Structure 1
Amino acid sequence: MNYISTRGNVGEVGFIDAVLMGLADDGGLLIPKQIPRLSEAELTSWSKLDYKGLALEIFSRYINEEIPQDELKELIEASYSTFRDSDITPVRKLNDNSYVLELFHGPTFAFKDVALQFLGNLYSYIARKRNSIINILGATSGDTGASAIEGVRGKEGIRISILHPHQRVSKVQELQMTTVDDANVLNLAVKGNFDDCQTLIKELFADVEFKNKYHLRAINSINFARILAQTVYYFFAYFQVTADAPGEKVNFSVPTGNFGDIFAGYLAKQMGLPVNKLILATNENNILERFIKEGVYQPGEFHITHSPSMDIQIASNFERYLFYLYNEDASQVADLMRQFKTEGKIVIDSEKLKQVQADFAAHGVKNDECLDAIRTTYESTGYLLDPHTACGIAASSPYTGSDELTVTLATAHPAKFDESIQLVNIKQEFPVQISQLFDKPQYQTVVEHSKADVVEHIVKLYQA
């Protein structure tokens, strides 16, 4: 399997080189040259596998023999042995047509662990095989940073710097990142929002000379390995739900800000998983909802919400979908992205909008609607949602028919967002791993929203 850029100006590269490149050198995103298509027989065979076995089958389709099968199996085992549930991502039934897919059983209680435990081990594997230093640089709206740090902390040959928006993540998210006192970890709190952090990261990766000089590697979902790892749980959940209800139509409702998690679902569907609807749940920062409903992709007024990990206006994985929407025409994608950079928006025609609306449904969840979903779900089922999952539940209601089942991706444990849970007067008991964080000292550096300021600090780490 080779990988190409959405903008067409990068030669074909293998899986490991694609992982190391992260953001394509032409500013685009790397995608597989072909999406593997599965037969009905393969799907039937896969439905009997456990999570790790399913991951091995899916990863193998995209990695080929670049990583020998026995070594890939060891990477998968090491990555998912850290999860607290034997199913890795268990499915829970809420009512007759509503399920949640719990993605928060990893070390940092967030769905990002599913991909970043694997990517951390993969980077460590590559560093050993190539005898090289890997300098990871990433931005986070809260969960990616903690998961990324947990995935690589203490690993030989790897250093990591994470940017997060200063005082705009939950307290638990902040503590999970900043209580790590390891020599290979740097936390930078940027005065600004997540989009400011993400823009800085993209600028640094787009500077190919700087990127190559300091061996910068991506941990954000611009790295295709992240998308690949997230694809697995769509297959796993579908097989779990249809085992109890064979032949039922299955939707997925996906809380999303960066378009990565729902793009993983789109990829699974393109591979042949018979997903009925992909429901995109946003909050009041609803640029993606407007695109799906109106065909206009344009940042609007920024809102601080009860679901802070989705307080994102510019979705870094959106370009991958554009590539397929425009029939894999990289020149058109490059033109669209140039237009977005100069004009601040992308507008698609009515025929393309029909295709978008065939691929996705969308709903932007208001703050009150989010809190109401937490309250009513708890009262009716006893199940406590975090605010991002609550957005997914709220978005699923108008799009779930009487003859359909919807699986909502539960992206984080509610303890990570107690500020929101307190607003509906629900008291929760923190897992011991989270409650212990409040007694630990913090290690972070507050910086201006300035490329020069960020570069000064990360270079010190990478030259150490």
Structure 2
Amino acid sequence: MQYISTRGKVEPKGFIDTVLMGLADDGGLMIPDVIPSVSAQTLEEWRSLSFQELFLKIFSYYTNGEIPDGDLKDMVKRSYASFRHPEVTPLKEINDSLYVLELFHGPTFAFKDVALQFMGELYSYISRVRGEIIHILGATSGDTGAAAIAGVRGKEGIKICILHPHNKVSKVQELQMTTVDDANVLNLSVKGNFDDCQQVIKELFGDLDFKSRYHLRAINSINFVRILAQTVYYFYAYLHLPQSAQGKTVNISVPSGNFGNIFSGYLAKKMGLPIGKLIIATNENNILERFVKTGEYKPGDFKSTHSPSMDIQVASNFERYLYYLLGEDSAKVSDYMAKLQREGAITVDSALLDKVQTEFAALGVKNDECLNVIGKYKQDSGYLLDPHTACGIAAYEAYNGPGEIGITFATAHPAKFDEAISLLNISQEFPAQIAGLSALPQHMTVVEHDKAEIARQLEVFYTLSAEIG
């Protein structure tokens, strides 16, 4: 297997070179040149596997033997040793038709830990065996930053800078990032929203001279390894349903603002996972809902919501899906993306829209509805949802049919978003790791939304880091 760009202007790469490239040098996103197929018999054989064992099975289709089996096994073991639940991503039954896959048992209490703990180990491995300098640069709407820092801090040969939107993440999310006192960690709080941060990241990675000079590596879901690692828990969720659910249509509802998490499900389905609807749950920043319902992909006005990790108007991973929607035609993808850049919107025709609607459903959940769902499930089931998971539950309720099974991903622990939950007069017990954050000093630099200023901050940081390292 080799990896190619959605825009078709990058020479095919191996697995490790794809990891190091992150954003493709032609501005596209890297994807495998062929998606491997998993048979029904193989799926049955996988039912008894642990999360770690399943991870190794799935990755074996994609690594081309570039990482010895023993090394990969050691990385996976270390990646999930810090998770608080022995199953890593346990599946909980809420009622006869609804299950919740808890993805928040990692060190920063969010689903991003599942992929980023492994990516930290992988980057450390690459740095060691190749003698590579690894300077990680990423943007976050809240959870990626903390998870990325937790995944790489203290690892030799790695430096990390994370951009987050100033005053537009939850307080816990901010504290998890900025209370890390490490000379090889830089937090930039950008006066703007997440899309502004993400755009600067793309521009810096698109500056190939800057990217090469400072050894920039991607931690966001523009890096295919993020997508692949998340695919594992789709398989895990399906394979761990009880016998009573066997033979029924299984739909999966996913809180997703950047199209990365839901695209992992799309990849799992193309590999052969026999799931029904992939349901995209968003909030009032509902570009993905509008695309699925109308065929128009057009960023709207940014809105702050109770689910800030989905306060996104430009979904980076949408281009990966567009590639498959357009019949794997990279020239067409390039034309569509150029039009989006030029005109601020693209629209697919009715035939393509019909295809979209056979593959996805989508719901943009209003703030009040999000809170109502949290209150309802706390009262009826005794289960406390974070606001993002509540959006996922609302989408499940809208699209799960009679006799069907729904799995909703719980993407964060509710303690990370007490600002919203406290509006319902619901009190919760904070995990000790979160409760102690407010007593720690913060380390961050507030900057304007300006590529040149951010580049200057990075130049100073990377030069200083090199001297420290």
Taking structure 2 as the reference length, the TM-score comes to: 0.98
User: Which whole-Å deviations, capped at 9, do the CAs of 1:180-207 have from their partners, x for residues lacking one?
Assistant: 0101100000000000000000000001
Per the TM alignment, residue 245 of structure 1 is displaced from its structure 2 partner at its CA by 2.0
Unaligned runs of 5+ in 1: none
In 2, the alpha carbon distance for the partners of 1:295 and 1:359 equals: 13
User: Which whole-Å deviations, capped at 9, do the CAs of 1:365-406 have from their partners, x for residues lacking one?
Assistant: 000000000000000000000000000001111211121010
Equivalent in the alignment of 1:28: 28
Equivalent in the alignment of 1:434: 434
Per the TM alignment, residue 451 of structure 1 is displaced from its structure 2 partner at its CA by 0.5
1:278 aligns with 2:294: no
The 3-state SS of whatever aligns with 2:240 is: helix
In 1, the alpha carbon distance for the partners of 2:132 and 2:324 equals: 35
Equivalent in the alignment of 1:162: 162
In 2, the alpha carbon distance for the partners of 1:2 and 1:206 equals: 22
User: Which whole-Å deviations, capped at 9, do the CAs of 1:287-322 have from their partners, x for residues lacking one?
Assistant: 000000000000111111000000000000000000
In 2, the alpha carbon distance for the partners of 1:300 and 1:455 equals: 27
User: Which whole-Å deviations, capped at 9, do the CAs of 1:315-339 have from their partners, x for residues lacking one?
Assistant: 0000000000001000000000000
Contact conserved, 2:248 with 2:404, CA < 8 A, in 1? yes
Equivalent in the alignment of 1:50: 50
In the TM superposition, what are the counterparts of 1:129-208 in structure 2 within 5 Å?
Answer: 129-208=129-208
In 1, the alpha carbon distance for the partners of 2:324 and 2:155 equals: 37
Unaligned runs of 5+ in 2: 465-469
In 1, the alpha carbon distance for the partners of 2:460 and 2:180 equals: 18
In 1, the alpha carbon distance for the partners of 2:266 and 2:387 equals: 23
In 1, the alpha carbon distance for the partners of 2:2 and 2:183 equals: 35
Equivalent in the alignment of 2:467: none
Per the TM alignment, residue 244 of structure 1 is displaced from its structure 2 partner at its CA by 4.4
Contact conserved, 1:365 with 1:391, CA < 8 A, in 2? yes
Equivalent in the alignment of 2:374: 374
The 3-state SS of whatever aligns with 2:164 is: strand
In 1, the alpha carbon distance for the partners of 2:10 and 2:47 equals: 36
1:112 aligns with 2:112: yes
> Aligned partner of 2:179: which letter?
T
In 2, the alpha carbon distance for the partners of 1:431 and 1:63 equals: 37
In 1, the alpha carbon distance for the partners of 2:286 and 2:349 equals: 20
Equivalent in the alignment of 1:351: 351
Contact conserved, 2:245 with 2:405, CA < 8 A, in 1? no
Per the TM alignment, residue 242 of structure 1 is displaced from its structure 2 partner at its CA by 4.6
Equivalent in the alignment of 1:293: 293
User: Which whole-Å deviations, capped at 9, do the CAs of 1:129-158 have from their partners, x for residues lacking one?
Assistant: 011210000000000000000000011100
1:222 aligns with 2:250: no
Moved over 3 A (4+): none
In 2, the alpha carbon distance for the partners of 1:123 and 1:420 equals: 35
Per the TM alignment, residue 64 of structure 1 is displaced from its structure 2 partner at its CA by 2.1
Contact conserved, 2:371 with 2:424, CA < 8 A, in 1? yes
Contact conserved, 1:222 with 1:317, CA < 8 A, in 2? yes
In 2, the alpha carbon distance for the partners of 1:244 and 1:421 equals: 33
User: Which whole-Å deviations, capped at 9, do the CAs of 1:403-433 have from their partners, x for residues lacking one?
Assistant: 1010000000000000000011100010000
The 3-state SS of whatever aligns with 1:423 is: helix
Per the TM alignment, residue 246 of structure 1 is displaced from its structure 2 partner at its CA by 1.5
The 3-state SS of whatever aligns with 2:241 is: helix
In 1, the alpha carbon distance for the partners of 2:81 and 2:109 equals: 14
Contact conserved, 2:14 with 2:64, CA < 8 A, in 1? no
1:362 aligns with 2:362: yes
Equivalent in the alignment of 1:461: 461
1:423 aligns with 2:413: no
Q: Give the % identical residues.
A: 65
In 2, the alpha carbon distance for the partners of 1:459 and 1:231 equals: 35
Equivalent in the alignment of 1:248: 248
Equivalent in the alignment of 2:409: 409
> Aligned partner of 1:40: which letter?
A
In 2, the alpha carbon distance for the partners of 1:423 and 1:346 equals: 38
1:307 aligns with 2:307: yes
In 1, the alpha carbon distance for the partners of 2:209 and 2:31 equals: 23
User: Which whole-Å deviations, capped at 9, do the CAs of 1:228-256 have from their partners, x for residues lacking one?
Assistant: 00000000000111544211211100000
**Equivalent pairs, count:** 464
Taking structure 1 as the reference length, the TM-score comes to: 0.99
In 1, the alpha carbon distance for the partners of 2:132 and 2:264 equals: 30
Equivalent in the alignment of 1:316: 316
The 3-state SS of whatever aligns with 2:273 is: coil
The 3-state SS of whatever aligns with 1:62 is: coil
> Aligned partner of 1:431: which letter?
P
> Aligned partner of 1:178: which letter?
T
In 1, the alpha carbon distance for the partners of 2:458 and 2:209 equals: 16
The 3-state SS of whatever aligns with 1:61 is: coil
> Aligned partner of 2:236: which letter?
F
